[in-house]
Amino acid sequence: MPTKTFVSRPVNDASDFNYQVDIIIPFHGQYEKVTRLVESIYRCTRSNFFQLCLVDDCSPNEDYLVNVAANIAKTSTARGITNNFKSIRMPEQVGFAGALKKGFDETESPFVCFVNSDCVLEDGGWLRALGETLLNLKEQGVRMVSPMTNNPVGGDPAQKGDRSEYSLDHVVLEEGAHLSMYCVLCHRQLFARCGGFLKEYPYGYYEDEEFARRMQRFGFKQAVCRNSWVQHDGMSTIGSLWKRDPSIKNVMEEENRERCIVDMKS
């Protein structure tokens, strides 16, 4: 069972969102980007206690997670703080949703934040802003929120924005729209209330669209927090997969689309 010891020291600003959060990051290769993201999380997340969970979706370099864990443990010991890092390595590649589910199943904080491995955080209040928006929009049925980004990659247009466009406003998505899940925050119970976790489509693609439709059928909504922003490169892992095996592109774009349509109809 995971421990309940968390390490990032929160700021003392008054907020209704004072909950512990599991930040779950699935990845396959792209080690420099993953390292960059992990460093930015520890540098910028100062608003809430959190546990960071890296899920290696069977990357070629088995030593990467070992080295990251060792470095974080060393730093925690030197600073006299509790190590809040958890690592998981999948024995075979299961794709985005499958890796997320493994991290989800092995953590237990009330709120979970899923972050793509090619994101970078630059704002110390990013997590609290997402949490406050989630709580403030609860009466409107909102149960999942994302920050703005430079590159939403197929998500709702409301997700695209520049850091200069920060505001306290938010955008609740219309029925039929969906969030791109480069970075989303929700309560852990959401999945149980919507009939289960994200669908595991081979390699990824369409799990965000299917789950958004499922949320809508259960009466829940998604929203964009315009007071939080992350940089998102987009297509890093996918691009390397397509280059390695061009047939994967057809699986993700065509076969997964058909699976998604069947799932939404069912």
Most confident of 2-11, 114-123, 200-209, 240-249: 114-123
* Residue-level pLDDT at 261: 76
What are 142's two structure tokens? Answer: 């909102």
d(CA 211, CA 83) in angstroms, rounded, equals 33
| pLDDT over threshold 80, residue 11 | no
Instruction: Report the pLDDT value the prediction gives residue 4, as an integer from 0 to 100.
Output: 38
DSSP string covering 165-227: G--S-EEEPPTT----TTEEEEETTHHHHTTSS----TTSSSHHHHHHHHHHHTT-EEEEEEE
Tokens matching residue 74: 């060393």
Pairing label, strands 142-149, 183-187: antiparallel
Q: How would residue 6 be classed by pLDDT, with cut points 50, 70 and 90?
A: very low
Integer Cα distance of 53 and 31 in angstroms: 15
Q: Which residues contact 65 (CB under 8 A, 6 or more apart)?
A: 54, 56, 87, 89
Helix (H) or strand (E) holding 64: helix 63-79
Q: How many CB atoms lie within 10 A of CB 32?
A: 9
Query: Confidence band (pLDDT; 50, 70, 90) for 5?
Result: very low
Q: Which domains does the chain have, with CATH numbers?
A: 21-265 (3.90.550.10)
Q: Which of 150-154, 195-199, 262-266 has the lowest mean pLDDT?
A: 262-266
Mean pLDDT for the stretch of residues 178-202: 94
**pLDDT tens digits for range 62-114:** 999 999 999 999 999 998 888 999 999 999 999 889 999 999 999 999 999 99
Res 3: pLDDT: 38
Query: Among 26-40, 171-185, 240-254, which is the least confidently predicted range?
Result: 240-254
